[in-house]
Structure 1
Amino acid sequence: MSYVQEAIGKIIDLCEIPSPTGFTNRIMNYLINEVRKLGFRYEYTNKKSLIVDLGHGDSNAILLMAHVDTLGAMVRSIKPNGRLKLTRIGGYPFSHIENENCIVFTRDNKAYTGTIYNIHPSVHVYNDTGTIERNENNVEVVLDQKVYSKEDVENLGIRPGDYIAFEPRTVLTRTGFLKSRFLDDKAGAGILLTLAKVIRDFTIEPKRKIYIMFTSYEEVGHGASSGIPDDVTEVIAVDMGAVGDDLDSDVYSVSVCAKDSSGPYDYDVVGKLIRAAELSKVNFTVDIYPYYSSDASAAVRAGYNVKHGLIGPGIYASHGYERTHVDAIEATLKLLQKYLELE
């Protein structure tokens, strides 16, 4: 199996594990088991970040980070008719989750399936099915249980604050397109897991000490705001390259971000990333994202004295039902390998 195939397999595995922000114990257990298999030392922080020590140089360490928390929701309240009002975790329009299957996880480890609808879902009954505003008052979870009242739902053990995870619908087509919710940022996490295997296999010779960090709170803005080892002088977020108008990024390339809504990324790091992309002869773009901020930005805002950068495979329809291509995964992995070999 090639390293690219390995990365795709890891991404698919990760996408299938529910992990809305703050509900990441399951996916962290998966990652810890994978890291143990590879034989690397790791630390699981109090804030539920996983930091993996990949060894090599003694100082001037570089930390590569990806987040495994995703968009999701919580039960806000239980309606008198037994349906659930929800509150969003992360930033997305309610229209992006309409008609999506979901799972409600209770505090006593029960799981109940359901579907998210707008409150007027039938065109044969309502004349505003297509026009009703999609918001927290007009979108609800209908449980796959025979419930008719708030009391019926409470008897299942469901309470406000319970997590709601959306079905990922992960598909890899014969033509190399990977479609799924949560490629942001499970694509990045799968790439970093594979990069760790590349380093274990001595396929590349890194020039610096390397850490990998998987975080649990990126979607709400503070994933990498703590826990970075003291010897780290540079952090690079391996997240997604957003695709859209006025951007060069596409689903076949790796995107190097020069600036996002948090401000410009470090000039030297961006330049070195571009050089690594050129030397590795991969398709790449340099982009500016108007509505984006990364874990690398969170680290800088938290006061860490580090240079920072951001790259990722091009991903279409971010924060919705996302899609990328095997070519973009390969380009991101090759760029990282070359970057680590540069002085």
Structure 2
Amino acid sequence: MNFSNAEETIKELCHKLYSIDSPTGFTDRISDWLIHYTRELGYDSYRNRLGNVIVPVPGKDRAHSVALSAHVDTLGLMVRSITSEGYLMFTTIGGPVLPSLDGEYCRIYSRSGKVFTGTVLSLSPAVHVFDDANTRPRDEKNMAIRLDEEVHSKEDVLALGIQTGDFICYDPKTIFTESGFLKSRFIDDKACAALELTLLALMREQSLTPAHTTYICFSTHEEIGYGGATLPDALDELLVVDMGCIGDDLNCTEQQVSICAKDNLGPYDYEMTSRLIDLSAEHGIDYAVDIYPHYGSDAGPMWRSGKDTKAALIGPGVHASHGMERTHLSGMMAALKLMSVYLGI
């Protein structure tokens, strides 16, 4: 596979994916866009009832089937209640690092279709007013959304059409630096979704056929723990493409692809993991092997659902996961190359 234009394609796709708010449970728009984009490339993609987008790619050996899967659902918030002063109390979707959200701009999607803006704030937001402005906990009980509307009561907010259960999407703040870093929220896992789309685009442009029947999957419920249970049945292998972890007692950097040997559920398939290590060494791909103690992927719910499928996990190294995340184009390219050689293209 020729990767000469891959970095620019990755950048373009990242900016597009991050421009579409898609917390778990609010993924219809990104699923619709994925269907449109992949069909424009010429693939016969489809969407299941839960929003997963599946792109079948015929292979040379149709008796064996493999899949790549990245998730396009993200962390988010939802309106839990409205205070008497007109602030929105929230509940989390997935596990964001809440202190990192203090001061972030956000959008509130009402069920009427109107979108409002606001800011995530501590309930003690001003040092000139509150003695505990710097010490009050940043959690669901002590943070709220300040609406950019003239509201002074719960009734004022309800009159706008905002209600309990409305989704709150905070700004990903996506940028690529001149030094090659991708800085954004939700690199977990839209960066890997961009890699899958780049792979599909390169296969089509270069008329490449994978070694086996292949399904490129985009799951929509990973952040709440069951995305893998709704992937296609009867797969021989699943390669989960998700973020690699960086931090205490880990080897991976942002410039590498991480191969996960074990997460909090247990070991990934030994043969698949060994094959990925061997492929990386053979093709000069910069990689690290790590164990993630506080991590689960789409492989876990797939196994719990009873699927008889081998699985392994790779992804570019990502710093500050579930907060203000960062990775590097070289790590993304290493992951893309390993995805390619795994598929035999």
- TM-score tier, shorter chain, comes to over 0.9
Residues 214-233 of structure 1, C-alpha deviation per residue, up to 9 Å, x if partnerless? 11110000012024143x11
Query: What pairs with 1:308-327 in structure 2 (closer than 5 Å)?
Result: 308-327=311-330
Aligned counterparts of 1:197 and 1:54: Cα–Cα separation in 2: 12
**Residue identity in the other structure for 1:327:** S
Contact 1:237 1:296 in 2 (8 A): yes
1:331 is the counterpart of 2:334: yes
Aligned counterparts of 1:37 and 1:53: Cα–Cα separation in 2: 14
Offset of residue 59 of structure 1 = 2.0
Aligned counterparts of 1:331 and 1:261: Cα–Cα separation in 2: 25
Offset of residue 4 of structure 1 = 2.4
Offset of residue 37 of structure 1 = 1.2
1:199 is the counterpart of 2:203: yes
Aligned counterparts of 1:169 and 1:326: Cα–Cα separation in 2: 17
The 3-state SS of whatever aligns with 1:338 is helix
1:208 is the counterpart of 2:212: yes
Query: What pairs with 1:1-343 in structure 2 (closer than 5 Å)?
Result: 2-56=5-59, 57-202=61-206, 204-230=208-234, 232-341=235-344
Deviates more, 1:32-41 or 1:204-213: 204-213
Q: How many residues are aligned here?
A: 341
**Residue identity in the other structure for 1:54:** V
Aligned counterparts of 1:185 and 1:236: Cα–Cα separation in 2: 14
Contact 1:81 1:149 in 2 (8 A): yes
Aligned counterparts of 1:304 and 1:298: Cα–Cα separation in 2: 9
Aligned counterparts of 1:323 and 1:255: Cα–Cα separation in 2: 15
Residues 197-218 of structure 1, C-alpha deviation per residue, up to 9 Å, x if partnerless? 2222346552111101111110
Q: Which runs of 5+ in 1 are unaligned?
A: none
Offset of residue 136 of structure 1 = 1.1
Contact 1:45 1:227 in 2 (8 A): no
Aligned counterparts of 2:175 and 2:39: Cα–Cα separation in 1: 28
The 3-state SS of whatever aligns with 2:46 is strand
Contact 1:255 1:285 in 2 (8 A): yes
TM-score, length-normalised on structure 1? 0.97
Deviates more, 1:118-127 or 1:148-157: 118-127
The 3-state SS of whatever aligns with 2:84 is coil
Residues 273-320 of structure 1, C-alpha deviation per residue, up to 9 Å, x if partnerless? 111211221211001001000012221111100000110010100001
Contact 2:58 2:210 in 1 (8 A): no
Contact 1:279 1:338 in 2 (8 A): no
Contact 2:58 2:209 in 1 (8 A): no
Residues 172-199 of structure 1, C-alpha deviation per residue, up to 9 Å, x if partnerless? 1111111001110001100001111222
Contact 2:237 2:309 in 1 (8 A): yes
State the percentage of identical aligned residues: 43
Offset of residue 60 of structure 1 = 1.5
Q: 1:145 to 1:123 in 2, by over 3 A?
A: same
Aligned counterparts of 1:128 and 1:96: Cα–Cα separation in 2: 18
The 3-state SS of whatever aligns with 1:200 is helix
**Residue identity in the other structure for 2:201:** K
Residues 86-105 of structure 1, C-alpha deviation per residue, up to 9 Å, x if partnerless? 00000123212111100000
**Residue identity in the other structure for 1:300:** W
**Residue identity in the other structure for 1:226:** T
**Residue identity in the other structure for 2:44:** R
- Cα RMSD of the aligned pairs, angstroms, is 1.2
Contact 1:297 1:308 in 2 (8 A): no
**Residue identity in the other structure for 1:244:** G
Aligned counterparts of 1:204 and 1:37: Cα–Cα separation in 2: 17
Aligned counterparts of 2:252 and 2:97: Cα–Cα separation in 1: 23
Aligned counterparts of 1:17 and 1:46: Cα–Cα separation in 2: 20
Residues 247-290 of structure 1, C-alpha deviation per residue, up to 9 Å, x if partnerless? 00110000000000011000011011111211221211001001
